[in-house]
Chain A
């Protein structure tokens, strides 16, 4: 499981940090390094571009996992450079950004766009496997999630847009219900596809979603 990210255009990073001339950059050694969006190399490149754009970079680090509490320790270790900066530019997914935001009061700015939580199916190929809907129906869909694998998140079968087993929105993508159908047929469980799924509960946990574990 990885948080998939994409770099924002540099102009957007510049616009966000307009008027904040001293920056500290944080990359992430886990997902963003894997996605090649916030590892050592990308942080180095960002540093150079920001300097070119006239910013003073007070420091740049790649922390092991930006979204955990070790981030606090790393910020402490780089206290001086962090304090000198007027903003922090985070090259991690939005969880990393928000983790840093927990510890600092100065502006924390995302340099990446967070796309989805993905599963690696084959080397380098990630797909969105779960929308965290709170009411898992994988047991009835042969382990394929229609909420993420179907463009429309349908439950009761393919829409009229399905064509030669592919999806209406992209002829490169499989229609979720072709996949579900084929697997259920192999398992001899096509009766599951005939079952009526009532409308989903979109408020299993009303937003903001929270859980307390004691």
Chain B
């Protein structure tokens, strides 16, 4: 059975995905609320996989919760914490429980997280994981052994349109496509002109591109991201606009900017959809969608 996300991607509609960040611990009520709130408003919900190398409730657990509530889940899978045996086992579990979308990621480095002394596994990288998933679909595991019952996934990956230098990033982008990536969720983009340049390149390939939208919550956050987050470029004018927002209204401004960006992307048909990341503020995603006129 083809996944609902794959169907949506194939329908030439403007696809909207968003993201759920599971908590550190078993207090899951808030995550459940976010899922309930968002499942009907977006085409699929990613569940992050120990984002920033911070140990949390697992992605697969969050994805099961999405499924149990009738939503469409995207299993984020990093290569940081599991070797190829564990990755495959989790793919089997996911498929058997109706999770049919995977986002293949390398994973953040261990020292940036909250278990800085742990071993980073990286037995595979994102390209090899994509490759392996396609092999499992053919009925064989990563070792070439026959599977009793195969899998079928809509597999995606990430790309950083603002990477510097750009060419190595674009080479890897192509390698991911060759390995079987069907869709991409990009790193956050703010400058549509620059993004259009990337899209011109990306349009040569038979893949769907969902532009990354990260909600700005303050001018300080925007500056911080510019300085510290790889591949994120917030233009001066947007920072000024955030800074000019009246006290206590910065978040509203951020929602407006995100909505406006999504609207422009859709109207200009720049890409195939968006992936909205409202890190730790999942509850404002409906407001962003409303601001985008969606």
Contact = CB atoms under 8 A, between A and B. Distances in A.
Interface of A: 151-165, 168-169, 177-178, 181, 185, 190, 193-194, 196-200, 202
Given A154-B122, A168-B230, A199 B164 contact: no
Given A181-B165, A198-B128, A153 B122 contact: yes
A181 B172 contact: no
16 contacts: A154-B106, A159-B106, A161-B108, A161-B109, A161-B230, A162-B169, A164-B164, A168-B230, A181-B171, A185-B167, A190-B171, A196-B127, A197-B127, A198-B128, A199-B128, A200-B123
A contact face: mostly helix, strand, loop, or mixed: loop
A131 to B, nearest CB: 12
B165 A152 contact: no
A43 B131 CA distance: 54
A162 to B, nearest CB: 6
A154 B125 contact: yes
B76 interface: no
Nearest to A191: B171
B131 A157 contact: no
A193 B168 contact: yes
B112 interface: yes
Given A156-B172, A162-B169, A198-B131, 6 more contacts: A157-B169, A158-B169, A158-B172, A159-B107, A163-B231, A200-B123
Interface of B: 80, 84, 105-109, 111-112, 120, 122-128, 131-132, 142, 158, 160, 163-165, 167-169, 171-172, 174-175, 178-179, 187, 230-231
Contacts of B142: 199
Contacts of B80: 152
Contacts of A181: 165, 167-168, 171
B122 A156 contact: no
B contact face: mostly helix, strand, loop, or mixed: mixed
Nearest to B106: A159
Contact of B230 (A162, A178, A194, A200): A162
A156 B128 contact: yes
Contacts of A162: 163, 168-169, 230
A11 to B, nearest CB: 20
Contacts of B123: 199-200, 202
Contacts of A178: 165, 168
A160 B106 contact: yes
A194 B108 contact: no
Given A156-B127, A164-B164, A194-B174, A169 B106 contact: no
A168 B160 CA distance: 14
B108 A196 contact: no
Contact of A196 (B168, B179, B187): B179
A200 B174 CA distance: 21
Nearest to A175: B168
A197 B126 CA distance: 11
A157 B127 contact: yes
B112 A168 contact: yes
A154 B168 CA distance: 13
Nearest 3 A/B pairs, CB to CB: A157-B172, A163-B230, A156-B127
Nearest to B187: A160
A214 B154 CA distance: 54
A160 B160 contact: yes
A178 B172 CA distance: 12
